[in-house]
Amino acid sequence: MTPRPLASVSVDLDNLWAYLKTHGDPGWRDRPSFLPSAVPRLLEILGEQGLTTTVFVVGADVVREDGAKAVAEIAAAGHEVANHSFGHEPWLHRYSRERLEDELSRTEAAITAAGAPRPRGFRGPGYSVTRDLVELLAERGYAYDASTLPTWIGPLARAYHNRTAKTSDEGLGELFGGVSRVLAPVHAYRWQTGAGSALVELPVTTMPLLRTPIHGSYLLQLHALSPRLAKAYFRTALRLCLVRGVSPSLLLHPTDVLGAAEAPGMEFFPGMAAPGARKVTWLGWVLSALREHFDVVGTGEYVSRTPLRRTRPVTGLDAGR
């Protein structure tokens, strides 16, 4: 019997305060959290679907009681816990090498203190990645990075965000990726570093050929316009992935299962007008559709099970500061 192609699912466990901070809302300093609502709901959906996935966690949350509890519950359910930086600032390209290393090490320490294994994977907030970051991940023994979103829509999403944001911080200049991401690979590949590293880059999948996003938040936007359109769009994406030999890497967020009342202050965020119960039902359909065609695993398991011949020189990335 021919094995089914692989797909991967991951969750970026961005918390309420992180969204408010990027949006320029001073209320973020109180560190409001929706993890106690979001994590049980996400784990329930994944459990109902029989999936073990990867959850990228923020170190500044994990050092707190609710974040440490979330990591313990995620790990106990069999999911991989990966590194999503310590401060969740989507302008890592402005960081010095020393500050990047501090972001990695502090989050690693928080994750292991919460009872999960040392992380093997990393995703930069806002899809922020630089040459320094890739080289540091390789040096620290990471198996993979998952920080790229190969799409032309990044600058448009950034313009929408900046129009509604309460800040004009120039650090948001590369939020959601720059124009260079338009032609970035959609398939997983290995970075060529000076040390000959085996570090894998696993892009967040976009629609083959069209290169438009297919992850949870964008699907919800389409669903708000027309559930029939959203279903047709996602089915088309899956068919194109099969035809083009792309293994989908589907990205989810807590906002994919939360309503506006559970995320106060996030009215600016697309899809927050939909009730949480409706989102849960929709996400269940999305995961079921993915499972119809693919063997769905976490990002770390996908990387460990997939032989890769494609490579890309790290010199193609910005060096950072």
Decide if 320 is inside a domain: no
Decide if 209 is inside a domain: yes
- Neighbour count for residue 196 (Cβ, 10 Å): 7
Task: List b or e across 251-266, with b for residues whose CB sees 16 or more CB atoms inside 10 angstroms.
Answer: bbbbbbbbbbebbebb
Q: Which residues contact 225 (CB under 8 A, 6 or more apart)?
A: none
How many structural domains is the chain composed of? 1
Which amino acid type is present at position 275? Answer: P
- Return the CATH number at 110: 3.20.20.370
Q: Which residues contact 166 (CB under 8 A, 6 or more apart)?
A: 23, 24, 25
Q: State the residue range of the domain holding 247.
A: 6-314
For residue 197, the model assigns a pLDDT of 66
Decide if 1 is inside a domain: no
Question: Residue 305 — φ and ψ, nearest 5°?
Answer: -100, -5
Q: 111 near 142, Cβ under 8 Å?
A: no
For residue 173, the model assigns a pLDDT of 47
Sign of the Cα torsion 162, 165, 170, 176 reads negative
Decide if 321 is inside a domain: no
First and final C-alpha spacing in the chain: 51
Q: 179 near 168, Cβ under 8 Å?
A: no
Question: Residue 270 — φ and ψ, nearest 5°?
Answer: -55, 140
For residue 170, the model assigns a pLDDT of 46
Decide if 121 is inside a domain: yes
Decide if 94 is inside a domain: yes
Question: Residue 58 — φ and ψ, nearest 5°?
Answer: -100, 125
How far apart are alpha carbons 270 and 220 in whole angstroms? 8
For residue 152, the model assigns a pLDDT of 81
Decide if 319 is inside a domain: no
CB-hemisphere CA count at 13 Å for 218?
A: 20
Q: Is 294 exposed, middle or buried (0-12, 13-18, 19+ CB in 10 A)?
A: buried
Decide if 13 is inside a domain: yes
Tokens of 299: 């990002």
For residue 313, the model assigns a pLDDT of 84
Residue 206 per-residue DSSP state = B
Q: What is the pLDDT along the chain (321 residues), one digit of tens a residue?
A: 678 999 999 999 999 999 999 889 999 999 999 999 999 999 999 999 999 999 999 999 999 999 999 999 999 999 999 999 999 999 898 999 999 999 999 999 999 999 999 999 999 999 988 999 999 999 999 999 999 999 886 555 554 445 555 554 544 445 555 555 667 889 999 998 765 568 999 999 999 999 999 999 999 999 999 999 999 999 999 999 999 999 999 999 999 999 999 999 999 888 898 999 999 999 999 999 999 999 999 999 999 999 888 888 886 676 555
Please work out, in degrees rounded to the nearest 5, the angle formed at the alpha carbon of residue 227 by the alpha carbons of 223 and 228.
135
